[in-house]
Chains A and B, each alone.
Chain A
Amino acid sequence: MGLLDKEFSDGNIVIAKVDDLMNWARLSSIWQLGFGLACCAIEMMATSASHYDFDRFGVIPRNTPRQADAIIISGTVTLKMATRIKRLYEQMPDPKYIISMGSCANCGGPYWEHGYHVLKGIDRVIPVDVYVPGCPPRPEALLEGLLKLQEKIRNESLRKKIA
């Protein structure tokens, strides 16, 4: 982890960079907005249930966007729903992260050809950080996506603004 590599001297003193400290705090407790749209939502619920536990990574579902760090878009996004997702995204405070889970949120999924009401990928409306492929992705795949997001947060810097 890099943070506790430094020697303890004079008891209980750790020396680290501020960037590392802030990033470590942010990635260890990503509170997600509970936002399940379709079939991927059930796999997300199964990931946060007891068999594949989400809570051991510090991820708890919150009910309102004002208290959430991340939003996991799980399921098909339709045109009717896309305007509401934009509004939810704008209500979340910075720093915020988006995980796009499943084929439908990545690129329209199986409904790309004749779906007249399906938005072909959520990145047409909001900027995405991590894409998790699958239809639906296994819980292990979603955990891998979460680890990649933690990797991304670890490399952030306070001086550069987050996109």
Chain B
Amino acid sequence: MKNPEEIFELLKTEFADVILGIDKETPTEPIIAVDPTQISKVGLFLRDNVALKFDSLMVLSGVDDANGTKVKDEDGTDMISGGTLSVYYHLHSTNLKHKITLKVSTPRENPQVESVYNVWRTSDWHEREAYDMFGIIFLNHPDLRRILMPYDWEAGYPLRKDYKNPEFYKGMKVPY
């Protein structure tokens, strides 16, 4: 059983330039930041290495960091421009009983993260949901399309902080 600092050291020796840092300020657990286009290689190492054996991905969640600047678009409503969207991975090992949290961040204008579909099959629907709610494109995902919203929803990505509701959808009034 290893603690997060040891895992960070092990990862740093293996993938020097891909691991961006460890954030120890959070109250519950340190978070390791990883480069978004290399997360699949890091995931394979974490799953197959004998000392780590992270064979289960507990949850994969997209987050809108809302750390850009507020601008007003043509209707006068608040939009956010710049800033990042992040994806958090919580991993767990059923044999060795340790846990770790990873984080990747991508720019809001063109969010692209590599998919970990080949490492943990759990990520199939979780990544589709992150795409549906935030618009994060997962590269090399076999079937990336909307999962919770209707397939022809064109009004944007609902969980972003600057999302606006459409007035009508197929003849039905959406607001109250």
Touching in the complex, A and B, CB below 8 A?
A: yes
Interface-facing stretch out of A36-44, A68-76, A112-120, A155-163: A112-120
- By the criterion CB–CB under 8 Å, are B176 and A120 in contact? yes
Chain B positions within 8 Å of A125 at CB level: 172
Question: What residues on A are CB-neighbors of B175 within 8 Å?
Answer: 120
Q: For the complex formed, measure the closest distance between the CB of B39 and the CB atoms of chain A, giving whole angstroms.
A: 30
Q: B158 contacts which of A108, A112, A116, A120 (Cβ < 8 Å)?
A: A116
**B116 CB → nearest A CB, Å:** 28
Size category of the binding interface on chain A: 10 to 19
Q: Interface residues of B toward A: which range?
A: 10 to 19
Measured CA separation A119–B170 after assembly (Å): 12
Give the docked Cα–Cα distance between A119 and B150 (Å).
Answer: 13
Q: Which A residue sits closest to B156, measured CB to CB?
A: A116
Describe A's contact surface by its main secondary structure: loop
Which of the listed residues B148, B165, B170, B176 has the most CB atoms from chain A within 10 Å of its own CB?
B176
Q: How far is the CA of A86 from the CA of B148 in the complex (A)?
A: 20
B interface, by DSSP: helix, strand, loop or mixed? loop
Beta-carbon contact of A112 and B176 below 8 Å: yes
- With both chains docked as a complex, state the minimum distance between the C-beta of B29 and any C-beta of chain A, in angstroms: 30
Interface presence of A80 (CB below 8 A): yes
B150 in contact with A116 (CB, 8 Å): no
User: What are the interface flags for A23-35 relative to B under an 8 Å C-beta threshold, 1 for contact and 0 otherwise?
Assistant: 0000000000000
Chain B nearest CB: distance from A87 CB in Å? Answer: 13
| Cβ-closest chain B residue relative to A117 | B149
A112 to B135, CA, bound (A): 25
* A83 at the binding interface (Cβ < 8 Å): yes
Cα separation A119 to B148 with both chains bound (whole Å)? 15
**Interface assignment of B16: CB less than 8 Å from any CB of chain A:** no
Q: What mask results when residues 156 to 173 of chain B are scored 1 for a CB within 8 Å of chain A, else 0? A: 001000010100011011
A147: Cβ under 8 A from any B Cβ = no
A116→B165 contact, CB < 8 A: yes
Task: Point out the residues of chain A lying under 8 angstroms from B170, CB to CB.
Answer: 79, 83
B150 to A79, Cβ gap below 8 A?
yes
Known pairs A116-B158, A116-B165; A108 contacts B176 (CB<8 A): yes
Apart from A113-B176, A120-B173: 20 A-B pairs, beta carbons within 8 A: A79-B150, A79-B169, A79-B170, A79-B172, A79-B174, A80-B149, A82-B172, A83-B170, A108-B176, A112-B176, A116-B158, A116-B163, A116-B174, A117-B148, A117-B158, A119-B172, A120-B176, A124-B172, A124-B173, A125-B172
Query: Can you identify 19 A-B contacts, CB atoms within 8 angstroms?
Result: A79-B150, A79-B170, A79-B172, A79-B174, A80-B149, A80-B150, A108-B176, A113-B176, A116-B158, A116-B163, A116-B165, A116-B174, A117-B148, A117-B149, A117-B158, A120-B173, A120-B176, A124-B173, A125-B172
Give the interface of B toward A (CB within 8 A). 148-150, 158, 163, 165, 169-170, 172-176
